């Protein structure tokens, strides 16, 4: 029996950290519905789960669209019989400052990164109440604490996740629903690959760029999705039963210093 046997989890995002979390929870016995907009990633994740014998389904979902999220939550609950855990990992990462980011791009970023969290709570929390409680883990970023230049939409969304997490933790504490956020540093994901290509060009040597990104972290490397997934699994478990309303950095000490050499 795994740690999450008998639990049902919804995880948004089927690449990067979302994919790693879905597999980690399923490996520990959870029944997992993975919500993603990337059809190829959805199929690949389901294929891995099938080979490993995990109880996992993928559901094509645009998490910024209320009807999509309502339908996906209904399918997840109908398939698995309830809902205990939500992990909000889906995200988009536009580049630009407030003068170079078109307003529709800014709003799309907020709709996916923040609105998706609202929607999974809107349709998921009532199901958690029926189960007597649950856990919501929201993926933020160190960029919600300290940011680079030229990423105004992304950092606005990640800072909003910190605030929304606090609000949800207070609102849903009486329902025995814990809500936390996680703020990773640089992690080997498609979003980090996008960063590498944005700064270095489409033909960038990803391994070399990732190594350079890693040098900015005092620990000397970037993180792996599985490391973040392990941390999220802890936060979603009963072992973290007194943890709610807080943000948790997993960043190789990136934000521990002031960045002056």
Catalytic residues: 154
DSSP conformation letters of 85-152: EEEE-------B-TTTS-HHHHHHHHIIIIIHHHHHHHHHHHHHHHHT-EEEEEE--GGGTS--SSBH
Nearest one of 28, 256, 247 to 139, comparing CA atoms: 247
**Rounded distance between C-alpha atoms, residue 48 and residue 45, angstroms:** 5
Q: What are phi and psi of 21, to 5 degrees?
A: -65, -45
DSSP conformation letters of 29-59: T-EEEEEES-HHHHHHHHHHHHHHT--EEEE
Please compute, for residue 260, the number of CA atoms within 13 A of its CA located in the half-sphere on the CB side: 1
**Rounded distance between C-alpha atoms, residue 136 and residue 121, angstroms:** 8
Take residue 169 and report the two structure tokens written for it: 């933790």
Q: Please work out, in degrees rounded to the nearest 5, the angle formed at the alpha carbon of residue 7 by the alpha carbons of 224 and 2.
A: 65
Q: C-alpha 121: how far from its chain's center?
A: 14
Strand pairing of 31-36 and 56-60? Answer: parallel
DSSP 175: G
Contact 71, 119 (CB under 8 A): no
């Amino acid at each position: 029996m795994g740690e999450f046997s008998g639990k049902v989890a919804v995880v948004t995002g089927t690449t990067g950290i979302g994919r790693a979390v879905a597999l980690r929870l399923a490996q520990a016995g959870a029944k997992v519905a993975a919500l993603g907009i990337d059809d190829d990633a959805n199929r690949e994740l389901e294929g891995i789960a099938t080979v490993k014998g995990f109880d996992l389904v993928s559901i094509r979902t645009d998490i910024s669209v209320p009807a999509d999220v309502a339908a996906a939550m209904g399918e997840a609950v109908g398939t698995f019989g309830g809902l205990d855990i939500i992990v909000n990992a889906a995200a988009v990462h536009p580049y630009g400052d407030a003068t170079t980011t078109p307003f529709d791009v800014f709003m799309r970023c907020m709709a996916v990164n923040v609105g998706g969290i609202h929607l999974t709570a809107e349709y998921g929390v009532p199901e958690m109440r029926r189960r007597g409680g649950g856990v919501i883990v929201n993926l933020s970023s160190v960029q919600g604490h300290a940011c680079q230049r030229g990423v105004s939409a992304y950092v606005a969304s990640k800072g909003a996740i910190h605030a929304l997490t606090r609000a949800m933790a207070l609102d849903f504490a009486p329902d025995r629903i814990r809500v936390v956020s996680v703020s990773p540093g640089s992690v080997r994901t498609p979003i980090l690959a996008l960063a590498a290509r944005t700064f270095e060009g489409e033909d960038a040597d990803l391994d070399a760029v990732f190594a350079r990104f890693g040098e900015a972290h005092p620990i000397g490397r970037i993180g792996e999705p599985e490391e973040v997934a392990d941390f999220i699994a802890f936060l979603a478990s009963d072992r973290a039963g007194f943890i709610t309303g807080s943000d948790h950095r997993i960043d190789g000490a990136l934000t521990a210093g002031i960045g002056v050499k």
